[in-house]
Structure 1
Amino acid sequence: MIKLYMMRHGSTDYNKKGLYNGWTNTAINLEGYEQCIILKEKLLDIKFDKIITSTLDRTIKSAEIVSDNKAQLMILEELKEINFGIWEGMNYRDIEKQYPLEWEEWQRQWTSYNIPQGESFQGFYARVKLCFESLLKNCENQCVLLVTHEGVMKVITTLLLNMKKEDFWHFSFDFGCYSYYEIYEDFCTIKKINC
């Protein structure tokens, strides 16, 4: 069995303003820092065999706070959020005004549309899937903390529950909170969510 704790990083100023924040390397803000301190207390008695993050500062800092800098982090490029390309740092209203054709195309074909200078959802999904399947093979009988992004958590959840890509939208994960999954071979049970 694999005990998987997935945590969404602490809040950032981009998140607070409702801006698209994929590969932009934003830091957690004071609220995000406090969220991570609270979560550290919640997970105090859990002994993690591995702590894994993406390469972005907001996940690394969140993992460092939660682990109290006592654990060596495994940092993986493939666990970054989707790359929003030219839309990074913008809210959806501004995107709709400045890039109306691109926005309309994304609305029609959100899974296959490749955001200029960014990536498509299909590319993002395939990247996370490949990485996560590889991780699963190396985590048997371990307790793992994965500190990552909401999009990544949604993809992983659909994979573990054998759902379609489109079911991605059925999940929401809160900043600085964890969800707990138990994985027995090909069967997953969600034990806790947004704690």
Structure 2
Amino acid sequence: MEKQELETAVSEVKKSPIFRKLLDDLSLITKIDFKIKPDINSGARFETDNSISFKNDGVIGAGALREELVHALQYNLFYHEDMEKPANKFNIELEAHIFVDAALTLLNNKFYEIDSNTIGYGGTESLKDAVIALMNSILSTGDFSNEQLPLYREVANNWYQYSGIYAESFPPKALYQYIKNRRI
């Protein structure tokens, strides 16, 4: 694995106070190993053995690392084996995508639609509008709370990056606990 690319990605991720807290909390309970695995079906993937695999050196970057670190947080601090249940996959992925967008929105004090992890490359206008409304609400309140839940559901109803449906019975615990305006 290209150590310099990983160090650069970690340094970029640490610019966010939310991600610094995530990394600090993870470091107290586990060690994350990093691997190159050309056979994975995505650019990067968190595995429940507490490893993050990258398809190749070229995909090592802050963007991929942020989402996989959220999955590590979800697994180790919140959902454990429930994360592996197919019925929870949609909620797990949605929460991870929104977590990244929300952390960066609070860091930048602005939502950049072009960089949105949730909207992606094929997001519909309905999805864009829903994500913008959610991020603006998080920005105005400084956190994710029950106040944003209707907006979160609206994003879920318009999000098609993963198959499945939003399960009301599986709340976004990581968003509630971590998406707070944490200044340096």
Q: TM-score range by the shorter chain?
A: under 0.3
Higher relative contact order (CA 8 A, sep 6+): 1
Q: Which structure: greater helix fraction?
A: 2
Q: If you compute each CA radius of gyration, which structure gives the higher value, 1 or 2? A: 1
TM-score (norm 1): 0.27
